[in-house]
Amino acid sequence: MLQRLTLVLPEHERVALRDEILQQSQSKPSYTRTHALNAWRSESDLHTWPAAASFCTTLVRLLQADAELPIEPKTLRAWAIVSRRGASHPRHMHPGRFTWSGVYYLEPGGADSARTVFETAEGLVPVVPERDLAIVFPVDLWHSVELHQSDNVRVTIAFNVGAVPGYGRPTTR
């Protein structure tokens, strides 16, 4: 149900993407339809940012090859979340026309960084953020982000992606 993937970008591309996200978080208002508390969220258009091109290409390749998911690349929608001390994200899921969701830890935020907690059939599964870690899961899986207690910024990229035509939806039950 939860798939752990390692997505490593060349350092100069990772830094450029991080810097672009941080710059956007300082110059643009947060997306208003988010449930994140005390965090900045971009619009769901990160997949169109030039600084995110390598990330998106690498993500699609990982989802298709390593995770063996029958995704439709043109359905990818991604957004950035910048969390500073005191940020959290209550229980939610990503319903809609997509099949899978995921989170990528671009900057994990240090030792006291907020964990992402998934509600699986086996119980709660907390994930400690790690640099270059991506977690992929069915869109209807409930999850939350604990209170971020680190002085280091936590930068994540969340995404949704659909399946190729004719593929059914995975189940979380």
Per-chain mean pLDDT for the chain:
90
* Residue 132 confidence (pLDDT): 96
Categorize the per-residue pLDDT at 94 as very low, low, confident or very high, splitting at 50, 70 and 90.
Answer: confident
* Residue 33 confidence (pLDDT): 66
Mean pLDDT lowest for which of 14-23, 28-37, 151-160? 28-37
Nearest to 18 by CA among 55, 63, 62: 55
Chain length of the chain: 173
Mean pLDDT lowest for which of 96-100, 154-158, 160-164? 96-100
Identify which has the larger pLDDT, 43 or 168. Answer: 43
Contact present, 143 and 14 (Cβ < 8 Å): no
Give per-residue pLDDT as tens, 35-89.
678 899 999 999 999 999 999 999 999 999 888 889 989 999 999 999 999 999 9
d(CA 16, CA 52): 9
* Residue 32 confidence (pLDDT): 67
What are the structural domains of the chain? Answer: 3-161 (2.60.120.620)
Q: What pTM was estimated for this model as a whole?
A: 0.92
Categorize the per-residue pLDDT at 171 as very low, low, confident or very high, splitting at 50, 70 and 90.
Answer: low
Residue 133 in this model has a pLDDT that exceeds 80 = yes
Contact present, 155 and 114 (Cβ < 8 Å): no
* Residue 42 confidence (pLDDT): 94
Cβ contacts of residue 166 below 8 Å, gap of 6+?
A: none
